[in-house]
Amino acid sequence: MSILTILLNILLPPLAVLMKHGLGGKFIINLLLTILGWLPGVIHAFLVNNE
């Protein structure tokens, strides 16, 4: 995982997921989690982008 991906996972989790997986289910889930709370979005972004 690159430094850019790590920074985006922390600062803008939906953008990090969008860049790696495109506009799909993982992005929508991450967007909803980020809206509900920043920390769940960050955790999901790290889990999804670490695959």
37 found inside a domain: yes
6 found inside a domain: no
According to the model, what pLDDT value does residue 49 have?
93
30 found inside a domain: yes
According to the model, what pLDDT value does residue 40 have?
97
| pTM, 2 dp | 0.90
Q: Which of 4, 6, 26, 3 is nearest to 14 (CA)?
A: 26
26 found inside a domain: yes
> Does residue 35 contact residue 13 with C-beta atoms inside 8 Å?
no
According to the model, what pLDDT value does residue 1 have?
75
According to the model, what pLDDT value does residue 2 have?
87
| Amino acid letter for position 39 | L
CA–CA gap between residue 30 and residue 9 (Å, rounded): 11
According to the model, what pLDDT value does residue 24 have?
95
> Does residue 38 contact residue 12 with C-beta atoms inside 8 Å?
no
CA–CA gap between residue 17 and residue 22 (Å, rounded): 7
Q: What residues of the chain score a pLDDT lower than 70?
A: none
